[in-house]
Structure 1
Amino acid sequence: MTRKQIQIFFERLREQRPHPETELNYSNPFELLVAVTLSAQATDVSVNKATDKLFPVANTPQAIYNLGVEGLKGYIKTIGLYNSKAENVIKACKILIEKHNGVVPNNRADLEALPGVGRKTANVVLNTAFGQPTMAVDTHIFRLGNRTGLAVGKNVLEVEHRLVKVIPKEFILDSHHWLILHGRYCCIARKPKCHECVVSDVCNWPDRFEFGADRPSPKAITVKNLDL
């Protein structure tokens, strides 16, 4: 995409969702950390069903650690890979208690040192809990970045670096949420809803017209206060 297209792209997504938020339920950084850890290869809906029962009982590192692996499994057994996730969460709680006084760290190195926390999970926590301009690339954003031409890359890290580089500063903080929601509900994998997409006229996917996108009109593409 050109700089002009990218500006329009995010202006439209911002207009569509002025206040985007994660669909995971949480009330503090620790709850978010646990929820994102549990969400790997699972839906946000399934995670919310589990944490809606877990968090009223235990929502601190010490409280969840006190449950133990088997106790935690009882709350999250409906989530995929719950055995390994329960072990990782308990190990992470132990580290948070012993090394961080029960507080979720606000830096990448310490977050990624926690069991079950990879780069994507760390990026979500840094962005959503601490307001840092990070980009967590999941399958939806990876697909969207490559399909639209916004950020082309062979792997998630390439797409992440490209997105951080090309997204204007005014959009970067909320861009993760805009992209994941657009990828989840509009730019879906098998049958993208190009006929109702708000950015189809600046998208570079050649097959979009087969899914109902209108052919773009150059006169319709305008950007205010953009120095080109």
Structure 2
Amino acid sequence: MNRDKRREIFERLRDATPAPTTELQYQSPFELLIAVILSAQATDRSVNKATGPLFAVADTPGAILELGEDGLRSHIRTIGLFNSKARNVIATCEALVSQHGGEIPRDRKALEALPGVGRKTANVVLNTAFGEPTMAVDTHIYRVANRTGLAPGKNVREVEDRLVRWTPKAFLRDAHHWLILHGRYTCLARKPRCGACPIFDLCEFRDRHRYAETEPD
């Protein structure tokens, strides 16, 4: 895929969603960090249902620690893997208080040192909370990048590096949100909605014409 085609893809995605953002609900970098930790192998909707009541009573590392692991677990038990996530969130809050004065570090290495925080979570926080031009590659972005030919790669890191390198700078800050939304609602895993795709003619997916003839169940 050449540079002009990539630019056109992002121009169309931008036109469709001029101000994209995460679907996780948050009011501060801390709330975003906790929501992203909780979102692993869970839907944003299920996380939002749990974090709404949670953040109403505990929206700082210190307040979460006051709840304790049992108290936190009672708020997030509707989310998958809530036991391990509760342990990670408590450990993260302890580290934030003891090492960062209760603030979220604007530094990848420091973020990735927090319990339960990997590269993807750090990228989400750096991009969404702090406006850094990072690329948080999840399953949706990995699929879209490979299927469309936008930035094919054999693993998540390879896709991330190619997207960061090949995405025009004007689009890089919002690119991962556009790609997530595209993968979540149009370029679906089992039955992509090629007939409703705004980048259909630019896509290099060889089966796109077949899927354009039918809509998913």
Whether TM exceeds 0.5 here: the answer is yes
Give the Cα separation in 2 of the matches to 1:32 and 1:80.
18
Using CA pairs below 8 Å that are at least 6 residues apart, which structure has the higher relative contact order? 1
Aligned residue number for residue 39 of structure 1 = 39
Measured against aligned partners, the alpha-carbon deviations of 1:34-84 in whole angstroms (never above 9, x if no partner) come to 000000000000000000110000000000011111110000000000000
Aligned residue number for residue 104 of structure 2 = 104
1:169 deviates by: 0.3
1:4 deviates by: 1.1
Which of structures 1 and 2 has the bigger CA Rg? Answer: 1
1:177 deviates by: 0.4
1:206 aligns with 2:206: yes
Equivalent position SS for 1:142: helix
Aligned residue number for residue 10 of structure 1 = 10
Measured against aligned partners, the alpha-carbon deviations of 1:76-134 in whole angstroms (never above 9, x if no partner) come to 00000000000000000000000100000000000000000000000000000000000
Measured against aligned partners, the alpha-carbon deviations of 1:144-200 in whole angstroms (never above 9, x if no partner) come to 000000011111000000000100000000001000000000001001000010001
Measured against aligned partners, the alpha-carbon deviations of 1:195-225 in whole angstroms (never above 9, x if no partner) come to 0100010000000000117xxxxxxxxxxxx
Runs of 4+ in 1 over 3 A off after TM superposition: none
Provide the aligned length of Structure 1 versus Structure 2. Answer: 213
Give the Cα separation in 2 of the matches to 1:165 and 1:21.
21
Counterparts in 2 of 1:181-192, with a 5 A limit? 181-192=181-192
Give the Cα separation in 1 of the matches to 2:212 and 2:112.
42
Give the Cα separation in 2 of the matches to 1:66 and 1:200.
51
Aligned residue number for residue 122 of structure 2 = 122
Equivalent position SS for 2:57: coil
Percent identity over paired residues = 63
Give the Cα separation in 2 of the matches to 1:66 and 1:189.
41
Aligned residue number for residue 82 of structure 2 = 82
Equivalent position SS for 1:150: coil
Letter of the 2:211 partner, please give it. Answer: F
Structure 2: state its 5+ residue gaps. Answer: none
Give the Cα separation in 1 of the matches to 2:208 and 2:68.
50
Give the Cα separation in 2 of the matches to 1:64 and 1:105.
18
Measured against aligned partners, the alpha-carbon deviations of 1:4-31 in whole angstroms (never above 9, x if no partner) come to 1101000000000000010000000000
Equivalent position SS for 2:19: coil
Letter of the 2:54 partner, please give it. Answer: L
Give the Cα separation in 1 of the matches to 2:112 and 2:34.
13
Q: Aligned-residue CA RMSD in angstroms?
A: 0.6
Equivalent position SS for 1:206: coil
Give the Cα separation in 1 of the matches to 2:66 and 2:90.
9
Letter of the 1:36 partner, please give it. Answer: V
Aligned residue number for residue 169 of structure 2 = 169
Give the Cα separation in 1 of the matches to 2:115 and 2:207.
41
Give the Cα separation in 2 of the matches to 1:130 and 1:176.
14
Equivalent position SS for 2:21: coil
1:137 deviates by: 0.2
